[in-house]
């Protein structure tokens, strides 16, 4: 079982592994069963916190020693102290109160495979637990027929932002991966999993523009608006435990400036841009909205979104060549204003420099020329890029004539104009 975090690292509940070379691989237990699990996920002081308690029984007539683990991705923990602060694992023999919990010594171990540390990897965890690059592990020994209680506590961070979220529709997800429970002997005897939401946080507060969905609807019950609980008996998981909250925010002239475009890799120098390409990008940006709010999408005027996408693609051609988007020297008629930024030395730039500094800069490809008047000339672009610039300018002119009134009159920056 596994919890998915927005931060990109993953914490998980227990499953069995074995050492293989320098790494570890999952191993099915033929002797130890998970008789019950109780998982409580709730909002703490700063993030969601988890307390998971497992009752594990050795069904054999022999002593069994297993390496128990839960997978993580790109944890960045330096050593034992960091791991121990993050993951608190306590164990005791028997289910009664006569034996106290004892703290387990946990360690980090590399998996059999190495996987890049990416946000998308955290958003879409591997279907095969063997694909996780790291795991937190500890050793457990059961006497013949012995039952042990294992309790794991940790902070799981914030909810994961659903892929496809943007200024139009925003979605969040809490996910608890239960498929690794199948690695124990037999089905999970009993499982109780609950999530308590902070309704004072607008992220999760239900409203007219918010839709909630959750897995295993037949096994789930709500207690008011803030707590959902699942109950299972003799359970072999067929899906993960997840809860999603999706909000229709709508588009506005103010929001369009901050619309996040996770566009495909740059191909402006290899492939011809077209109306069909723009339409495909619009469909992609509306995909999450269409899944949850299809009627709103049908009535949605996509023209402002098309303008924003075309404007981004046009400026990206020049940004790929280091265009600083210089506008001129500060003067009585040219000052920092809507769509314009200054460098503190009397130079005024289009805010597109800040946009690409934010997105292209973090990816390492946007390096604006240092000289103020270093704008890229259209004639210096490749022939394919020049054709794409010509198409985008022409299509933008047509689209701007079709814009709703509230989107007109906004500052327009045209790169490459000498």
Select from 225, 248, 271 the last residue of a domain: 248
Which tokens hold the place of 333? 């008629």
Instruction: Say which range, 93-97, 214-218, 288-292, 369-373, has the weakest mean pLDDT.
Output: 369-373
- Say if residue 280 is in the same domain as residue 233: no
Is residue 388 in a domain?
yes
At 411 the pLDDT is 76
- Say if residue 260 is in the same domain as residue 362: yes
Q: What is the pLDDT of residues 314-356, one digit of tens each?
A: 999 999 999 999 998 989 888 888 788 888 888 889 888 888 8
Query: For a pLDDT cut of 90, what percent of the chain falls above it?
Result: 40
For residue 105, the domain's CATH number is 2.60.40.3680
- Say if residue 278 is in the same domain as residue 227: no
At 406 the pLDDT is 86
- What's the number of domains the chain is made of? 2
Residues making up the chain, counted from first to last: 418
Which tokens hold the place of 194? 């609950």
- Say if residue 242 is in the same domain as residue 303: no
- Say if residue 242 is in the same domain as residue 112: yes
- Structural contact between residues 222 and 228, judged by C-beta atoms closer than 8 angstroms: yes
Looking at the predicted structure, is the pLDDT value of residue 14 above 80?
Answer: no
Instruction: Say which range, 102-111, 270-279, 397-406, has the weakest mean pLDDT.
Output: 102-111
Which tokens hold the place of 30? 């033929």
Is residue 191 in a domain?
yes
More confident call, 188 vs 124: 188
- Say if residue 130 is in the same domain as residue 165: yes
Select from 230, 248, 266 the last residue of a domain: 248
Q: What is the pLDDT of residues 107-148, one digit of tens each?
A: 877 765 544 444 444 445 555 656 666 778 899 999 999 999
- Say if residue 196 is in the same domain as residue 65: yes
- Say if residue 151 is in the same domain as residue 97: yes
Is residue 414 in a domain?
no
- Say if residue 203 is in the same domain as residue 348: no
- Say if residue 330 is in the same domain as residue 313: yes
- Say if residue 212 is in the same domain as residue 274: no
More confident call, 88 vs 61: 61
Crossing angle for the helix pair 303-319 and 383-401, to the nearest 10 degrees? 150
Is residue 386 in a domain?
yes
pTM of the model: 0.78
Select from 248, 280, 308 the last residue of a domain: 248
Mean pLDDT of 23-39: 87
Q: Long-range contacts for 40-46 (Cβ within 8 Å, ≥24 apart)?
A: 40/194, 40/196, 41/3, 41/156, 41/174, 41/176, 41/193, 41/194, 41/195, 41/196, 42/195, 42/196, 43/196, 43/197, 43/198, 43/201, 44/155, 46/155
- Structural contact between residues 6 and 159, judged by C-beta atoms closer than 8 angstroms: yes
- 173 pLDDT tier (thresholds 50, 70, 90): confident
- Return the closest-CA partner of residue 386 out of 325, 321, 339, 308: 321
- Say if residue 232 is in the same domain as residue 315: no
Is residue 413 in a domain?
no
* CA–CA distance, 51 with 11 (Å, rounded to integer): 12
Is residue 312 in a domain?
yes
Is residue 417 in a domain?
no
Is residue 415 in a domain?
no
More confident call, 204 vs 396: 396
Q: Long-range contacts for 406-409 (Cβ within 8 Å, ≥24 apart)?
A: 406/252, 406/253, 407/253, 407/256, 407/303, 407/304, 407/307
Domain span at 114: 2-248
């Amino acid at each position: 079982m596994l919890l998915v975090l927005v931060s990109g690292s993953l914490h998980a509940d227990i499953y069995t592994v074995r050492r293989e070379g320098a790494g570890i691989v999952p191993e099915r237990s033929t002797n130890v069963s998970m008789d019950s699990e109780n998982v409580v996920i709730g909002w703490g002081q700063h993030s969601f916190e988890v307390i998971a308690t497992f009752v594990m029984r050795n069904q054999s007539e022999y002593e069994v020693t297993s390496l128990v683990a839960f997978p993580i991705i790109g944890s960045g923990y330096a050593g034992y102290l960091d791991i121990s602060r993050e993951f608190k694992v306590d164990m005791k023999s028997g289910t009664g109160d006569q034996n106290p919990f004892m703290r387990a010594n946990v360690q980090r171990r590399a998996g059999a495979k190495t996987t890049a540390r990416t946000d998308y990897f955290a958003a879409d965890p591997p279907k095969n637990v063997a694909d996780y690059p790291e795991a937190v592990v500890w050793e457990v020994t059961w006497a013949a027929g012995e039952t042990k209680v294992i309790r794991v506590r940790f902070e799981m961070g914030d909810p994961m932002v659903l892929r496809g979220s943007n200024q139009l529709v925003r979605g969040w997800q809490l996910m608890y991966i239960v498929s690794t429970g199948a690695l124990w002997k037999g089905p999970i005897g009993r499982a109780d999993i609950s999530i308590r939401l902070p309704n004072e946080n607008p992220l999760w507060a239900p409203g007219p523009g918010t839709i909630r969905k959750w897995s295993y609807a037949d096994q789930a019950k709500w207690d008011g608006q803030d707590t959902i609980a699942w109950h299972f008996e003799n359970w072999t998981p067929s899906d993960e435990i997840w809860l999603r909250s999706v909000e229709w925010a709508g588009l506005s002239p103010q929001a369009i400036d901050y619309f996040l475009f996770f566009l495909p890799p740059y191909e402006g120098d290899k492939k011809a841009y077209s109306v069909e390409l723009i339409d495909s990008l619009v469909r992609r940006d509306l995909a999450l909205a269409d899944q949850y709010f299809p009627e709103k999408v049908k009535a949605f005027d996509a023209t402002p979104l098309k303008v924003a996408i075309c404007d981004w693609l046009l400026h990206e051609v020049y940004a790929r060549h280091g265009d600083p988007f210089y506008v001129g020297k500060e003067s009585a008629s040219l000052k920092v204003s809507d769509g314009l930024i200054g460098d503190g030395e009397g130079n005024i730039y289009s805010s597109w420099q800040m946009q690409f500094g934010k997105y292209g800069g973090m990816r390492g490809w946007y390096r604006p020329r240092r000289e103020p008047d270093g704008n890229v000339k259209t004639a210096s672009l490749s022939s394919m890029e020049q054709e794409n610039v010509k198409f985008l300018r022409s299509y933008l002119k047509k689209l701007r004539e079709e814009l709703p009134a509230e989107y007109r009159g906004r500052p327009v920056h045209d790169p490459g104009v000498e």
